[in-house]
Chain A
Amino acid sequence: MKSRRTAFTIFVFLFPVFIIYTLFMIIPLIQTFVYSFTQWNGVTETTFTGISNYVKLLQDKDYWTTFMNTLKLVGLSAVIQIPVGLLVAYLLYCKVKGMKIFRTIFFLPVVIAPVAIGLMFSLFYNSEIGLFNKILAAIGLGALQNNWLSNVKTLLYAVMAPQIWQYIGLYITIFLGALQSVPEEIIEGAEIDGANKLQILHRIIIPEIRNFIVISLILSVTGSLKSFDHSWIMTKGGPGVRSAYLGVYMYKTSFVNSDFGKGSTITVTIVLLSLLFTILLNIINNKYSD
């Protein structure tokens, strides 16, 4: 009787979330999967084309460019955001005066709309009126001045930079919370045994907060995989698709070129890629947990 009551309570609690998740996540995902096997311009009848969209996508140079751009963003975000976030959080954790103020300041960019950040950086990079080149010149690095968004070599990284920078604050906040959950007696014990700050970080804190690091990595990777705003606002993914990620390419394909079939195929690959990364990270985490 009791278990039936518990089951009923669970059902009642889960029901609204189940409905919302099914309506706005599962059903659209299934629909997208179905559309990926069709040719549809959003207006006329859909035509079933089998796996031709997938075949075309594999031969599409622009798709692979955006795929590689996305992988680069995933890699750079993980390599920069997580270590920098952890390092800054650790510095703040080591009894820095005014920690709460710093935490707020570091978190501030996270709550600013990516559109605003994108616009701000495109002005910042402007060769004629932008501050970036002027600052470089002022600090004696004039030789590094560049047309950041008009140079094929710097374009992609100039578009990535604001996004990577913007979300570092998120990881600082996560890691700060994680660090505060580490029992102080363990750290005090290590200090009594003569361990320095670096050793404590390496030998005690990182293993203790491993789950937080994995979650942060998953957030960073999946966040990068669905990147859109910065690239779209700064360059519309261009010139061509040189600064586009998979999300931007999907949007351009579906809503600019009205090829919803191919757009759905790109979406399916984004989902698969997200799943792959999440599974990989969980496997690695489990391995080290053991």
Chain B
Amino acid sequence: MKNKTLKILALGMSIVMTMGLTACGATAPSTDQTDTSTGKASSAAKNDKVSIVLATNWGEGDAKYDYFYPEFEKFKESVADTIDITLETYTTEDYKTKIKTQTASGSLPDVFTYWGGGMMADMCDAGLLLNVDDYFKDSQTVKREDFEPGSFEFYVAGDGNTYGIPIESTRGILMANSELFKKYNLEYPKTYDDLLACAKVFNENGIIPMSMGSNGGSPSEFFFSELYNQYAGAEEELEALPAGGAFNTANAVKVGEVIQDMKNHQIFPEDTVTNGGYGPCLQLYTDQKAAMTYTYPWMFESIPENIQEMSDVIPMPQMPDSTVDSSTIETGFTVYGCLINKASYEDPAKHDAMVKVCDFIASDELNSSLVKSGMIPCKNVEVPYKDQKLIMQKTLDYSEGKDLVQVHYTKLPSASAISEMESGLDELFINAITPQEYVDKVQESITK
């Protein structure tokens, strides 16, 4: 009797486990936030719907979430009768991994926001992405001409085709706390010597002169490029990078030396790792522990209004031996966009739904809404100046008449080269490697 009970129990367990395994094997999104509700549609109607997976890193916690999600909800409601949209969101670093893993497992989302350049190179090579000109041909509401022509550059692959709809453009800015400068009777630094003089005074008073760190290469990689562009020939060198140009230039070594000199003169926080990353870097500035910081508009949502009021956007001080006037240039580039899964787009059952979802991503409504988070749109949308954050107004005023220059991030040919540039900068900032060793490491990764 006892044996029989045991057998029945064992059999029952094995059936349950086997069923569990079958359930595990079923297709189901595994995300930290999914939204598949489709209003009041009946289950019968649901079967006729087209299922589309939209993935983005604009999830909860991201500066764009509050502006993206309400628009997404509206769109979802409007197409609820025909499209069943699954929204998948992850935080930025996890999102990069998610897309790489999905690429490897052959389950790319149908439409997803992503970076161009080296970040999408493998997907382009494998023919996974749609040439967006095909989408523009099919769309009734969105045309290529609606966008800044130069904004597509980040999404142009080696074969000359464009594989992304550009969404976000950006500008690098040096913010200075006017009240701290007034308090210590200092002028904004124009030259490197001015910067050293300011740093001395700020350090004597327990203020960090410039909040700049490097954790996973942020925000140091753009700072590196900002300084790089002050040197003669830098623009041409950056333009040559995607086609096999060198990273290990004399200019790169020079910038590395300048950064280490700035570190040694205590212009940056002592601990550049824990104070690295966009959030911690900005935090020191908004807490008024730092007099200046270099940041980007996607962080504007985190700047309190009183700090926006006391902040000025100023030119980067002229670095030693540089010849390009720093007050005439500004890093400005397309940083983000939307990619389309080619296989899904070419699936006749999904095609029309895909066009609608892409139309939504590229819509004036969504772009106008995202602008409020501090985004500079690649699309030509009218956004009243007064509706923008004060710090964005100051940024736009500063940008007037500036020559926009590029950054290494958008020009490096592969994700591994970008990764090497980022992790190498972390080492450079703590003086663990020499500038020459740093540029050689990145170059080796490119050559590989």
Contact = CB atoms under 8 A, between A and B. Distances in A.
The finding on whether chains A and B are genuine partners in a shared complex, rather than unrelated, reads yes
A44 B125 contact: yes
Interface in A257-290: 257-260
Q: Is the interface of B mostly helix, strand, loop or mixed?
A: helix
B187 interface: no
Contacts of B209: none
Contacts of A242: 427, 432
B289 A257 contact: no
Interface string B415-448: 1100100011011011011000000000000000
Contact of B274 (A15, A130, A237, A238): A130
Contacts of B208: 128
A42 B14 contact: no
Contacts of A256: 96-97, 415-416, 419
B415 A128 contact: no
Contact of A12 (B10, B429, B433): B10
B17 A238 contact: no
B273 A12 contact: no
A236 interface: yes
Given A15-B14, A239-B427, A152 B432 contact: yes
Taking residues whose C-beta sits less than 8 angstroms from the other chain, chain A's interface range is: 35 or more
A260 B6 CA distance: 45
B415 A43 contact: no
Nearest to B123: A43
B58 to A, nearest CB: 21
Given A43-B104, A255-B100, A147 B271 contact: yes
B227 interface: no
A41 B182 CA distance: 54
Given A13-B10, A16-B14, A260 B104 contact: yes
A126 B21 CA distance: 45
A12 B14 CA distance: 7
Contact of A19 (B21, B215, B427): B21
B9 to A, nearest CB: 9
A124 B96 CA distance: 28
A20 interface: yes
Contacts of A258: 100, 122, 415-416
A98 interface: no
B415 A257 contact: yes
Contacts of A151: 430
A86 interface: no
Interface string B222-266: 000000000000000000000000000000000000000000000
Given A9-B6, A20-B17, A255-B97, A240 B271 contact: no
Nearest to B426: A239
Nearest to B283: A129
B274 A152 contact: no
A150 interface: yes
Contacts of B109: none
A218 interface: no
Contacts of A127: 269-271, 274-275
8 contacts: A126-B275, A128-B269, A150-B272, A151-B430, A237-B423, A239-B426, A258-B100, A258-B415
Given A12-B11, A42-B104, 9 more contacts: A41-B122, A44-B126, A128-B284, A150-B274, A238-B273, A239-B427, A252-B419, A256-B419, A258-B122
Closest 3 interchain pairs by CB? Answer: A16-B17, A239-B426, A42-B104
